[in-house]
Amino acid sequence: MGPLKYILVFGIATTLNFAAVQEEEAIEWITESKLTWKDFRGKTPSNVRAAATTASGISYEFSTRFEGDEMMVDYTVLTFFYPIKSWYKPKICNDLTLIHEQLHFDISELFARRMRKQMNSMVFTNNVKAEVKKIYKKILNELSDFQNLYDNQTNFSRDKEQQLLWNKKIREALKK
């Protein structure tokens, strides 16, 4: 069975878009690396109220092989940021806005970790493709809900107290 690739791309709003990883510029999530405004290279839409949009997502691929009668599943789950689909309005964005956007990327990584954990604990059958897809869809739904909760509770970074609480919450979750 060949590798399968999927990604989730979402903005500050609740929009979900799917795209292929292979030809699109992407920045892989790395613990030590943080986004800068230079990474946001998408064209800013003229008719939106949002200050910025972070396009990030989870990508996976897997393959199967047999060792004797036992099917083995090899997989990779990664988190990416997409510069060309991410944008900001320089006149209204500040350091707190950038931190807010970074956390969207970090939250994607948290859900990639959840997917890895579920894949590790799964005993796959010969229907592995459907089983992996089911895990992925569940993770995407949970990720979307969590991203919306984050935006609602922080009021898109405008509620500084809530933003600081979320910064701490996500930082601690990433340490685990």
Q: Find where tokens 């892989």 sit.
A: 28
The pLDDT, as a whole number, for residue 75 is: 97
The pLDDT, as a whole number, for residue 77 is: 98
What are the counts of helices (DSSP H) followed by strands (DSSP E) for the chain?
3, 7
The pLDDT, as a whole number, for residue 29 is: 98
The pLDDT, as a whole number, for residue 18 is: 37
The pLDDT, as a whole number, for residue 21 is: 41
Mind listing the pLDDT tens digit for each residue in 111-138? 999 999 999 999 999 899 999 999 999 9
Alpha-carbon Rg for the chain in angstroms = 17
- Residue 90 tokens read as 């320089």
Report mean pLDDT in 10-residue bins for the chain, 176 residues: 29 31 81 97 94 97 92 96 98 97 98 98 94 98 98 97 98 96
The pLDDT, as a whole number, for residue 25 is: 94
The pLDDT, as a whole number, for residue 7 is: 26
The pLDDT, as a whole number, for residue 92 is: 95
- Residue 110 tokens read as 């948290």
CB atoms within 10 A of CB 87: 20
